[in-house]
Amino acid sequence: MVDMETIVSLCKRRGFIFQSSEIYGGLGSTWDYGPLGVELKRNVKEAWWNTVVRQRGDMVGLDAAILMHPRVWEASGHVAGFADPMVDCRKCKQRFRADHLESLEKCPECGGDLTEARMFNLMFKTFMGPVEDEAAIVYLRPETAQGIFVNFENVRETMRKKLPFGIAQIGKAFRNEITPGNFTFRTREFEQMEIEFFVKPGEDEEWHQRWIQDRLEWYRQYGIQPEKLRLREHACDELAHYAKACTDIEYEFPFGWSELEGIANRTDFDLRQHAEYSGRDLTYFDDQTQERYFPYVIEPSAGADRATLAFLIDAYHEEQVRNEKRVVLRFHKALAPIKAAVMPLKRNEPRIVAIAKELADNLRKCMSAMYDDTGSIGRLYRRQDEIGTVWCLTVDFQSLEDQTVTVRDRDTMEQIRLPIAEVPARLKEQLDNAC
């Protein structure tokens, strides 16, 4: 399996992910997505949105504000309970999450004594307006979910939705993690892709199982090797304060099996709490049974950064081709940051260059494409393989004669000739069929 150092180095070298504020020495565990990383992450989010919103009749979307009324976080239980136990080493001064340590006797780094565990709230606090006092405190949201719960009634009413239905949202979340790390796996600023799916009480367990299977299938559909995915049910003592049950989808990262997504049964906890704290009626009237009740909620909650990292790691392949190491990112076609790269066989032959540039322009109208003449064809192939470009198109002297180009497939390395005029439509068709 590829190690994290190789992935981090490829990400920097090829423009996927850079350290944040690097010219100032960086800011701990914050990362910037470069030109290829932003395309990849957008494709991951788009694939998720297409699957869970556009292709379903029982889902709608939302984009709520990051800053919310402070009472939201009292009602949700985050002010009182969103905390991790923290210990400090008295000798080397390092800080650890107590529940991540095997023993609380000695520091795992230097063997020094550890302090007693203290609870540390993970929410970032700031102040709204010019006055920095208690009354002006607001929090950066630690989950996008609450934006959905407080809009439950707005969405249900305006969209005339009946149970079961769900609301999906993609957005930033912030947690002052005690021990961030493993590249973009655990950071203090990250993006979530969350669904709150509202169901009739009593139907929640069945819906929970359906969502677990649907979400597992999504990762497989977009190319993650099935043997690298597994489900892990939470034990009672690890459940969040709002959950009756939770199953994680885990991926085998180079640092071990770790959570990609959690699918929780949040019961009616959140709607009940917000009804109580806001004084609003958030019950649902079931016109079939003529009953009023708080819907139960199934919550598939994924991290956009973690999913992107898993797709990157899983796509990474090294192979020997004619005594040379070939590095290739075998992304699913829909996720690849660049679908097609057009290259001229000779960059100082104006007729070839003109055809290649025109073809790249035509491809750009329907997919992410680039023109590249910055090296020999062999070098350009290697570079495009390393960023996962699906097709490399070469314009050569024969193109001048018969208006065809070679199309090289990233995965099979097979080369075929296609009429230039047909290339955009033929490749677009393959992309559409892949989704």
CB of 3 to ligand GAP, least distance (A): 20
Does residue 145 touch ligand GAP according to CB under 6 A?
A: yes
CB of 180 to ligand GAP, least distance (A): 6
> What does the alpha-carbon distance between residue 204 and residue 230 come to, in Å, rounded to a whole number?
22
Query: Considering only residues 259, 349, 358, 373, which one is a binding residue for ligand GAP as defined by CB under 6 A?
Result: 259
Asked if residues 392 and 343 have their Cβ atoms less than 8 Å apart, the reply is yes
Residue number, 260 or 369, with CB nearest to ligand GAP:
260
CB of 259 to ligand GAP, least distance (A): 5
Residue 260, token pair as written in the block: 């990609």
Residue number, 310 or 423, with CB nearest to ligand GAP:
310
Residue 31: beta bridge partners? Answer: 19
> What does the alpha-carbon distance between residue 348 and residue 336 come to, in Å, rounded to a whole number?
30
Helix (H, G, I), strand (E, B) or coil at 202: coil
Total of residues contacting ligand GAP (CB under 6 A): 19
Does residue 37 touch ligand GAP according to CB under 6 A?
A: no
Residue number, 124 or 277, with CB nearest to ligand GAP:
124
Query: Binders of ligand GAP among 276-335, rule CB under 6 A?
Result: 299, 301-303, 305-306
> What does the alpha-carbon distance between residue 116 and residue 27 come to, in Å, rounded to a whole number?
28
Asked if residues 344 and 77 have their Cβ atoms less than 8 Å apart, the reply is no
Q: How far is CA 34 from CA 19, 28, 31, 364, in A?
A: 10, 18, 9, 19
> Angle, nearest 10°, between helix axes 4-13 and 304-315?
100
CB of 200 to ligand GAP, least distance (A): 22
Does residue 250 touch ligand GAP according to CB under 6 A?
A: no
Q: How many CB atoms lie within 10 A of CB 174?
A: 19
**Peptide bond preceding 201: is omega within 30 degrees of 0, i.e. cis?**
no
CB of 73 to ligand GAP, least distance (A): 13
User: DSSP assignment of 262-331, as one string?
Assistant: EEEEEETHHHHHHHHHH-----EEETTTTEEEPPEEEEEEEEHHHHHHHHHHHHEEEEEETTEEEEEE--
CB of 105 to ligand GAP, least distance (A): 27
CB of 50 to ligand GAP, least distance (A): 19
Helix (H, G, I), strand (E, B) or coil at 165: strand
Residue number, 213 or 403, with CB nearest to ligand GAP:
213
Query: Considering only residues 190, 218, 222, 371, which one is a binding residue for ligand GAP as defined by CB under 6 A?
Result: 190
Question: How many residues comprise the chain?
Answer: 435
CB of 141 to ligand GAP, least distance (A): 10
Does residue 47 touch ligand GAP according to CB under 6 A?
A: no
Per-residue contact track with ligand GAP, 379 to 398, x per CB under 6 A?
--------------------
Does residue 177 touch ligand GAP according to CB under 6 A?
A: yes
Query: Considering only residues 43, 76, 192, 399, which one is a binding residue for ligand GAP as defined by CB under 6 A?
Result: 192
Residue 168: beta bridge partners? Answer: 61, 195
Query: Considering only residues 41, 156, 161, 186, which one is a binding residue for ligand GAP as defined by CB under 6 A?
Result: 186
The stretch near ligand GAP (CB under 6 A) out of 188-196, 314-322, 343-351, 363-371 is 188-196
By beta carbon distance, the residue nearest ligand GAP is 303
Residue number, 247 or 368, with CB nearest to ligand GAP:
247
Q: How many CB atoms lie within 10 A of CB 245?
A: 17
Helix (H, G, I), strand (E, B) or coil at 332: coil
> What does the alpha-carbon distance between residue 16 and residue 218 come to, in Å, rounded to a whole number?
23
Does residue 187 touch ligand GAP according to CB under 6 A?
A: yes
Residue 291, token pair as written in the block: 């009953």
The stretch near ligand GAP (CB under 6 A) out of 56-64, 103-111, 153-161, 190-198 is 190-198
- The kind and range of the H/E element at 76 are none
Q: Which residue has the tokens 């299977």?
A: 213
Residue number, 143 or 396, with CB nearest to ligand GAP:
143
**Residues binding ligand GAP (CB under 6 A):** 143, 145, 175, 177, 186-187, 190, 192, 194, 259-262, 299, 301-303, 305-306
